Amino acid sequence: MPNSYYAHRLRRGRTSVSGQIYHVTTTTIDREPRFLDISSARTVIRILMMSDDRKDSETLAFVLMPDHLHWLFALGEGRSLSRVVQRVKSSSARLIGQTVWQKGFHDRALRAEEDVRNVARYIIANPLRSGLADNVGDYPLWDAVWL
């Protein structure tokens, strides 16, 4: 099935709740490793911080992998989850100067009883699980508010 079909299915049932913590994952087009280029990677990270500055989000943790982003954040007051993610993706692509992101994204709203720090640890351990680093400190494209 075409990507647009799956992107549409990802939107079904999506809600935007101010203050809700979401784990969002989005991938590059054709899973191309666009973020091996450190300049492009830093652009995406800068855009995440700008989202926080605008009060669209409050980033708790993220890891930018060569071909995808994991982003854990609280949604800003009165903001739309889809709009916040779309803004991050379009702004970063514009500054990078080329189409970067596949349409759509996967989101998961954390339940109240979930340990947010454990979710953050899972996210930032992605480079270890994928073999990109032997320890988290060796991988430069991540951050978490607890460190």
pLDDT in tens, 49-101: 999 999 999 999 999 999 999 999 999 999 999 999 999 999 999 999 999 99
What is the mean predicted confidence (pLDDT) over 118-123?
96
What 3-state DSSP class applies to 57?
A: strand
Average pLDDT across the chain, whole number: 92
What 3-state DSSP class applies to 144?
A: strand
Residues shown for the chain: 147
What is the mean predicted confidence (pLDDT) over 127-131?
97
pLDDT > 90: percent of the chain: 87
Q: Residue 3 pLDDT more than 80?
A: no
Q: Which long-range contacts (CB under 8 A, 24 or more apart) does 54-58 make?
A: 55/79, 56/84, 56/87, 57/84
What 3-state DSSP class applies to 123?
A: helix
The 21-27 sheet, strands edge to edge = 106-109, 21-27, 68-75, 57-64, 142-144
Q: Residue 4 pLDDT more than 70?
A: no
What confidence score (pLDDT) does residue 15 get? Answer: 83
Q: Confidence band (pLDDT; 50, 70, 90) for 40?
A: very high
What is the mean predicted confidence (pLDDT) over 98-120?
96
Q: Residue 14 pLDDT more than 90?
A: no
Return d(Cα 110, Cα 124) in angstroms, integer.
Answer: 16
User: What helix, strand, coil percent values describe the chain, rounded to 5?
Assistant: 45, 20, 35
Q: What is the set of domains in the chain, with CATH numbers?
A: 3-144 (3.30.70.1290)
What is the mean predicted confidence (pLDDT) over 112-117?
94
Specify the DSSP class assigned to residue 34.
G
